[in-house]
Chain A
Amino acid sequence: MAVDQVDPVEPAPDALPCGRDPLTVVDDARAGRISAHSRSCEYCQQAIDEDRLLATVREIEAEPVPAPDTLLPRVMATVFAELRPGRQIALPAVGPSASVTELAIVSTLRHHLDELPDLIVHRCRVRAGEPAGELRPEGEPALVVELTAAGAYQADLADLADQVRATAHRVLREQFGFDDVRVDVEFVDLFTLADGGD
């Protein structure tokens, strides 16, 4: 629902009698840009003086109001209760009797990939292939990871993609027992590494 119904006849600010837009005159004055016209124009000066009067109101209202400590936990309690964990994927070493959710795999991958200094993960999705055997087409892996990411400008993206694949393969093998994995990496953005100081 809109804050308020749009009133098509609700007017824009009237121009000052000198023809200037009052919001622009005030914004310019606040930014320290007072034109030669505004300096000598009584209407512009009146608008600027009124705005100076309101500086106190702005100052009082703009005092920061910290959020209550209970807000974040209350929000996140609901978020965690409503998580969409995705499909269950059977653990290869155990078979259908033990499985892991797509979300658990993705969270684990993100955690490890976020440690790569030249990478910011955007999207990360996993999908399980058909069970091994007749149903799985030849060459189709048991698990496919689809990743979009940003790489550092300074990085060699081919090397970075190799690091991503190596990390993903290691994590999936060591933590979940997946050996037959394909990792698709698409770089969709670049970023500049900031100076971290001494």
Chain B
Amino acid sequence: MKVDEAAIDGAAAPAPRRPVKPDVDDAVLVLRAQDGDPRAFEQLVRRYQQVMFGVAVRILGDRDEAEDVTQNAFIAAWRRLPEFRADAKFSTWMYRIVTNQALNQARGQSRRPRPADRETLEAASGSWASTTVDADPERHAQRAALLAAVRRALAALPDQLRVCWLLREVHERSYQEVADITEVSLDTARGRIFRARQRLAEEMSAWR
């Protein structure tokens, strides 16, 4: 017979490790939301609100506009859920809706969409200042100049190059996903990313 040593010692036996269910994946949440379950859709919004807001704020450069666009994009997704195909990826679909709406918003205001400036990102994240303030004034000035250079370099990119670069380099989408989100061929998406990198490298060459 096996002796329970913990019981003899009077110590509590360790609790058995309890298996838990994995997080419900996006595809299942979409099925539930398609059946009208608002809590399932809420979970999807919670999962993707930060990344989608990040796309919008980087395209529009204005956090109030970005919030409106992100809100409208999620509501559009909710309304169009019945059209969503089971073989598609929810994240790719959301990226596409947000990207299109952000660019439409920018075009509708007859101005070029611009990369978010540091003040916008700082206001949006609340973290920028704490990560970048440098006690050394010279280094701080150098950093500020670098940020300005990055802003100028991104602003100089045509929309289609900048969006493809953003999706690949900041949001780490695969080349195929970039093509799917922007609704161009894989070759076109790869070409745009390449040309965006070339132009950015030229713009930033002084910082080499």
Interface residues of A (CB under 8 A from B): 1-4, 6-7, 10-13, 22-23, 26, 50-51, 53-54, 56-58, 60-68, 70-72, 74-76, 78-80, 82-86, 103, 106-107, 110, 117, 120-125, 150, 152, 154, 191-198
CB closest chain-B residue, reference A76 = B42
| Interface membership of B125, Cβ < 8 A | yes
A125 touches B35 (CB 8 A): yes
| A–B complex contacts, Cβ < 8 Å, 11 sampled | A3-B96, A6-B183, A26-B197, A54-B201, A56-B207, A62-B170, A63-B131, A75-B71, A79-B41, A103-B36, A106-B37
| Given A57-B153, A75-B71, A106-B35, 13 additional A-B pairs, CB 8 A | A1-B100, A4-B159, A7-B188, A10-B188, A13-B194, A54-B197, A61-B169, A67-B50, A67-B52, A75-B75, A79-B41, A103-B36, A197-B18
A61 touches B125 (CB 8 A): no
A2-B187 contact given A53-B204, A70-B67, CB 8 Å threshold: no
- With a CB–CB cut-off of 8 A, which chain A residues contact B131? 63
Instruction: Kindly provide the distance from the CB of A89 to the nearest chain B CB, expressed in whole angstroms.
Output: 15
| Interface membership of B92, Cβ < 8 A | no
- With a CB–CB cut-off of 8 A, which chain A residues contact B41? 79
A191 touches B21 (CB 8 A): yes
User: Which residue of B57, B71, B175 contacts A74 across the interface (Cβ within 8 Å)?
Assistant: B71
| Interface membership of B78, Cβ < 8 A | yes
CB closest chain-A residue, reference B20 = A196
Interface residues on chain B, size class: 35 or more
B154 touches A61 (CB 8 A): yes
Instruction: Kindly provide the distance from the CB of A154 to the nearest chain B CB, expressed in whole angstroms.
Output: 8
- With a CB–CB cut-off of 8 A, which chain B residues contact A22? 194
A107–B166 alpha-carbon span in the complex (Å): 39
B182 touches A3 (CB 8 A): yes
| Interface membership of B10, Cβ < 8 A | no
B160 touches A3 (CB 8 A): yes
B182 touches A71 (CB 8 A): no
A1–B74 alpha-carbon span in the complex (Å): 16
Is chain B's binding surface mostly helix, strand, loop or mixed? helix
A117 touches B21 (CB 8 A): yes
Instruction: Kindly provide the distance from the CB of B167 to the nearest chain A CB, expressed in whole angstroms.
Output: 10
A122-B31 contact given A13-B190, A197-B17, CB 8 Å threshold: yes
User: Which residue of A12, A66, A193 contacts B19 across the interface (Cβ within 8 Å)?
Assistant: A193
- With a CB–CB cut-off of 8 A, which chain A residues contact B18? 196-197
| Interface membership of B127, Cβ < 8 A | yes
A79 touches B197 (CB 8 A): no
| Interface membership of B109, Cβ < 8 A | no
B78 touches A12 (CB 8 A): no
Instruction: Kindly provide the distance from the CB of A70 to the nearest chain B CB, expressed in whole angstroms.
Output: 7
A198 touches B17 (CB 8 A): yes
A13–B15 alpha-carbon span in the complex (Å): 58
User: Which residue of B150, B175, B191, B198 contacts A57 across the interface (Cβ within 8 Å)?
Assistant: B150
User: Which residue of B52, B100, B128, B153 contacts A2 across the interface (Cβ within 8 Å)?
Assistant: B100
- With a CB–CB cut-off of 8 A, which chain B residues contact A11? 187, 191
B104 touches A4 (CB 8 A): no
A155–B67 alpha-carbon span in the complex (Å): 44
Instruction: Kindly provide the distance from the CB of B54 to the nearest chain A CB, expressed in whole angstroms.
Output: 4
B78 touches A194 (CB 8 A): no
- With a CB–CB cut-off of 8 A, which chain B residues contact A1? 100, 104
User: Which residue of A6, A74, A123 contacts B31 across the interface (Cβ within 8 Å)?
Assistant: A123
A85 touches B36 (CB 8 A): yes
